[in-house]
Amino acid sequence: MIEVRDVHKSFGTQKVLRGATLTIAKGEAVVIIGRSGGGKSVLLKHLIGLLPPDRGSVLVAGEDLACMDERRLLQVRRRFGMLFQMAALFDSLNVYENVSFVLRRERRHTEGEIRRQVAEALEMVELPGIEEKLPSELSGGMRKRVGLARAIIYRPEIVLYDEPTTGLDPVAGDRIDRLIRRVWEQLHVTSIAVTHDMKSARTISNRILMLHEGVIYADGPTDSILGSSDPLLHRFVNGISTPQNEGP
């Protein structure tokens, strides 16, 4: 469903991706792990065409995003939903307007239908009855759950999560993990998340990719990656630093 071929990306003199290559099949629950600042979010943004690669290609259902202009990309993005690291809710809109944003723009739903679907989406993220609240009135965890409701209300085929548990306490993080798992199981979406939270990765994935120095260093089922004896993987998964500060 998604194929990334030899993608390179630099920002100024800093090379972030140096030939990342991966394939994700329909219905998988994939987590991309790697060091902070290692290019995970950059890679995720390539998958949805928010960033163009300097070299290489990103194919979604056989279509190369690198060859599309922004308006063509908008059509491809209808397949995607995305939860941002800080939720990226629209400040000036209340929860109802945020969650119903896509449905209202489509102009083919009645207000009653939209209201019902928003209520369902908020129910799914365990936040019923907060339609009238503003994003500034919500906690970090609630904002992420509203962001998730906004990302899934139009039933996308692929849902992307950028650091879904970052900045949350362990309980709120666990709640988000369970929701991501539930969305994957109930809506049958392809789930792709980037995180460096190993507990979260274990809960929400059935496959893990490790991005290291701009390339995919490891790729395998969740259990085998988390239990790997590879020194680099082992140190990263168990959070062991090295005295020379080399590697993860």
Partner 1 sequence: MCRGYLLRPVFNPIYQRITSFLRDLGEVSLLGAEVVRSFRLNRPSWKDFVYQLHFIGVKSQSVVITTGAATGMVLCAQTYFQFHKVKMDTATGAVVSVGMSSELGPVLAALMLTGRVGAAMAAELGTMKVTEQIDALRTLAAHPVDTLVVPRLLALLVSAPLLTAEAILVGITASWLIGVKLLGIDSAYYLVNMNRYTIPEDVFNGLVKSVVFGVIIAMVSCNKGLTCRGGAEGVGRATTEAVVIASISILVTNFFLTLFLARLIKG
Binding site for partner 1 (CB under 8 A): 45, 48, 50, 70-71, 73-75, 77-78, 80-82, 84-86, 88-91, 101-102, 105, 150-151, 160
Calculate helix-pair angle for 170-187, 111-124, nearest 10 degrees: 120
Number of continuous H segments (helices) and E segments (strands) in the chain: 10, 10
Which of 135, 153, 154 is CA-nearest to residue 144? 135
Q: In what side-by-side order are the strands of the sheet with 14-24?
A: 14-24, 2-11, 55-60, 63-64
- Cβ neighbors of 67 (< 8 A, separation 6 or more) are 57
Which residue's CB is nearer to partner 1, number 80 or number 96?
80
Which residue's CB is nearer to partner 1, number 78 or number 116?
78
Which residue's CB is nearer to partner 1, number 94 or number 228?
94
CB of 162 to partner 1, least distance (A): 9
CB of 245 to partner 1, least distance (A): 27
Which residue's CB is nearer to partner 1, number 131 or number 163?
163
CB of 205 to partner 1, least distance (A): 21
Which residue's CB is nearer to partner 1, number 93 or number 172?
93
CB of 148 to partner 1, least distance (A): 12
- Cβ neighbors of 35 (< 8 A, separation 6 or more) are 196, 212, 236, 248
CB of 66 to partner 1, least distance (A): 16
Q: Which amino acid is at 68?
A: M
CA dihedral 214, 220, 222, 227 (to 10 degrees): -90
